[in-house]
Amino acid sequence: MVKIIVLLLFYFTFPLVIIYMVKKWTFFRKLGTIALAYAFGLILGSSGILPQGSENYRSALQGRIALPEDEVRLLLTSGKINEEDVFVNRLSASQDMMLSIIVPLAFPLLLFSLDFKKWLRYAKEGLLSMILALISIIVIIGLGYFLFRNIVPDSWKVAGMLVGVYTGGTANMASLKVALDVDPNLFLMSNTYDIIMGAATLIFFITIGPKIFRAILPPFKKIEGGNQTEGAEAPSENFDDFSGILEKKRLIPLLGAFGMSLVIFLVAFGVSMLMPEVPQNVVVILGITTLAILCSFIKWFNRIEKSFQTGMYLIIVFSFAVASMANLGVIFSIGFLGLFAYVFFAYFGSILLHLILSKIFRVNADDYLITTTALIYSPPFVPVVAAAMKNKDVIITGITVGIVGYVLGNYLGVLIGYFLKGL
C-alpha cells in the first residue's frame, strides 16, 4: 500500500518539475506541458519500473483495467496468479480511480474564468470561421467513422473523443474518455497519434503556414481606431503562467474554487443516480460542464485568479498518469494502423475541408489560421501562432474561439459519439 501511495504522490509532484522546465527553458516551452507530460509518462511506463503482472493476470483482464477483488482472490487461491499480480491489480485500480476523479474536478476550474460578455464583444470576427471549422470537424470525423468502423475498435468512442479534442483540446478529450468509458490504451493511442500529428502541424503553422494560407485566402483587415490589440496578449499569456499560484491572496480563493468543483462533482454524481437509464459518466460530465458554466456568471468565481491554471495542473497530472499506464509495444503495433489512419484522416481532413469552406465563404487567412489553432491546440497556443503571423489583433478572437471550444467539446463529443453508435 505504501508503494501505491508513493506512486500517486509522484503523479502529483512530478508535473511541478514539468511546469518548471517549461518556465525555465524556451525549448520545453515550445513543446508545452501536456506534450512533456505524455512523453515523461511514456518513459516511465516503458522503463520497467512499474510492474506489469504475469501473463496469466494480463489474460484474465480481458481488456479491463483491474479485476474485482473476489475474482483476484479466486485466481490467487487456484494458483493462476501470484502475490505480485495482486499488487499490480491494486495499483491499476488506484490509478483508474485517480483518473476517474481528477478530470471531473479539473474541468470546473477550467471553466470558472469564462467571460460571456467579452465573447459578445470580440467573437464576431472569428464566428464564421469557427462555425465552418466545427462543420468540417463533424463532417470529416463522421465520414471517417464509416470508413474505419470495421477496422477500429469502439470507433464511435474514438469519433466522440476526436470531436472533443479538435473542438476543445486535451481537457475535453480527457473528459470524454470518462464520459464514453473509453479503454485507457485506446484513449492513449488516439491521443498519442494526435500529438504526433499536432507537433508536425504546429511547426508548419509557425513557419511557412501563414505565407501559404495568405496566398490562398483573402487578407486580414485591421479595424482602425479600435482598442482590441491593447492588452490583448495578457489573457493568453496568463493561461500558461503558474507563477504566484501558492501566494496567500490567491491560495484561499483557489481552495474555495476547488471546493466548489468538488460540490459540482458530487451534485452531478447525485443527479446521475436519479437517471439510471442514461449512462452515468455522460450525466456526470455534462452535468459538471453545465454547472461550471453557470458558476462562471457569479463574479466571485469568475474573478478567481489562477483557477484556469489550477485546472490545467490537474490535466497535466492526468496526462502524465495515463501515459505511464501505456505499453509502447502495443501502441505502435501493426494491429493499430487502422486507428492511426482514422486519426490522420480526421486531423488533416478537417483542416483541409475548413480551408476549402473558408475559401468559398471568403474567410480571411489570419482568422482561419487562428481559429484552427484555437480549436485544435486550445487557447495557450494562440499567442504563439499570432506572433508567427505578426498579428496581435487576432489574439482575442483566438482565445474566444478556444474557450467556446472548451464549452462545446463535451456536448458535441457525447452527441456525435452516441449518434454514430445508433446508426
pLDDT, the chain, mean: 83
Segment 298-312 shows an average pLDDT of: 85
* Identity at 100, one-letter amino acid code: S
- What residue has cell string 500529428? 197
- What residue has cell string 489474460? 59
Rounded Cα distance between 145 and 318, Å, is: 27
- Binned at pLDDT 50, 70 and 90, residue 157 comes out as very high
Query: pLDDT digit string (tens) for 4-39?
Result: 899 999 999 999 999 999 888 888 887 778 778 878
Share of the chain above pLDDT 90, in %: 27
- Binned at pLDDT 50, 70 and 90, residue 237 comes out as very low
Segment 213-237 shows an average pLDDT of: 61
pLDDT of 279 reads: 67
pLDDT of 270 reads: 92
160, pLDDT greater than 90: yes
42, pLDDT greater than 90: no
Rounded Cα distance between 111 and 257, Å, is: 11
pTM listed for this prediction? 0.68
pLDDT of 300 reads: 87
Query: pLDDT digit string (tens) for 44-72?
Result: 887 878 887 888 887 787 656 788 888 88
233, pLDDT greater than 70: no
**Spatial CB neighbours of 79, under 8 Å, sequence gap ≥ 6:** none
pLDDT of 335 reads: 58
pLDDT of 206 reads: 80
Q: Which three cell numbers stand for residue 181?
A: 468509458
Segment 381-406 shows an average pLDDT of: 77
**Spatial CB neighbours of 130, under 8 Å, sequence gap ≥ 6:** 123, 371, 375, 401, 404
Query: Who wins on pLDDT, 182 or 30?
Result: 182
pLDDT of 143 reads: 96
Rounded Cα distance between 34 and 201, Å, is: 16
Least confident of 75-89, 326-340, 352-366: 326-340
Rounded Cα distance between 172 and 285, Å, is: 10
Q: Are 293 and 114 in contact (CB under 8 A)?
A: yes
Domain residue extents for the chain? 104-221+238-421
Segment 109-138 shows an average pLDDT of: 78
Segment 116-127 shows an average pLDDT of: 64
210, pLDDT greater than 50: yes
For the chain, give the secondary structure using H, E and C.
Answer: CHHHHHHHHHHHHHHHHHHHHHHHCHHHHHHCHHHHHHHHHHHHHHCCCCCCCCHHHHHHHCCCCCCCHHHHHHHHHCCCCCHHHHHHHHHHHHHHHHHHHHHHHHHHHHHCCCCHHHHHHHCHHHHHHHHHHHHHHHHHHHHHHHHHCCCCCCHHHHHHHHHHHHHHCHHHHHHHHHHCCCCHHHHHHHHHHHHHHHHHHHHHHCCCHHHHHHHHCCCCCCCCCCCCCCCCHHHHHHHCCCCCCCCHHHHHHHHHHHHHHHHHHHHHHHHHHCCCCCCHHHHHHHHHHHHHHHHHCCHHHHCCCCHHHHHHHHHHHHHHHHHHCCCHHHHCCHHHHHHHHHHHHHHHHHHHHHHHHHHHCCCCHHHHHHHHHHHHHCHHHHHHHHHHHCCHHHHHHHHHHHHHHHHHHHHHHHHHHHHHHCC
84, pLDDT greater than 90: no
**Spatial CB neighbours of 366, under 8 Å, sequence gap ≥ 6:** 210, 214, 219, 220, 389, 391, 394
pLDDT of 64 reads: 67
